[in-house]
Amino acid sequence: MPMKFMPKIGMPMGALAMLILRVLRSGSLHGYAIAQRIHVLSSDVLQVEEGALYPALQKMLLKGWVTSEWGISETNRKVRFYSLTAVGRKQLEVELSEYDRVTEAIRTVLRTA
């Protein structure tokens, strides 16, 4: 039986920041590890591209949601580790609340249309 081609599923608009913040809630990680964690936790459905990840992290740094410091990765490379700030924790709650509100609105339309 031939394997079916699985189309690449894009990241839903606005979800990347929420996912990064949620992953960092468990502890500091470098960029590649953040992308890998999201990929693994989503059962290989979500894939974060470098071209989206690093600009998102830079915006979060500027907003004070995360901090960063240089360190050495498990592969002995110099990398930037990102950590969630108190402001970032509050923003995560805002993001999760908004996600729940939008998801419920979509469910309502699907049920009643």
Q: Tell me phi and psi for residue 73, to 5 degrees.
A: -75, 175
Please tell me the predicted confidence (pLDDT) of residue 13.
Answer: 73
Please tell me the predicted confidence (pLDDT) of residue 4.
Answer: 54
Q: Over range 58-81, report the average pLDDT.
A: 96
Between CA 20 and CA 58 the distance in angstroms is 12
Contact 85, 8 (CB under 8 A): no
Architecture of domain 15-112: Orthogonal Bundle (1.10)
Please tell me the predicted confidence (pLDDT) of residue 14.
Answer: 80
pLDDT band at 1 (very low <50, low <70, confident <90, very high): very low
pLDDT band at 10 (very low <50, low <70, confident <90, very high): low
Residue 11 has pLDDT above 90, yes or no: no
Q: Over range 25-43, report the average pLDDT.
A: 96
Residue 96 has pLDDT above 90, yes or no: yes
Between CA 5 and CA 67 the distance in angstroms is 39
Across the chain, what does the average pLDDT equal?
91
Residue 25 has pLDDT above 50, yes or no: yes
* Tokens coding 50: 């470098």
DSSP conformation letters of 58-112: HHHHHHTSEEEEEEE-TTS-EEEEEEE-HHHHHHHHHHHHHHHHHHHHHHHHHHH
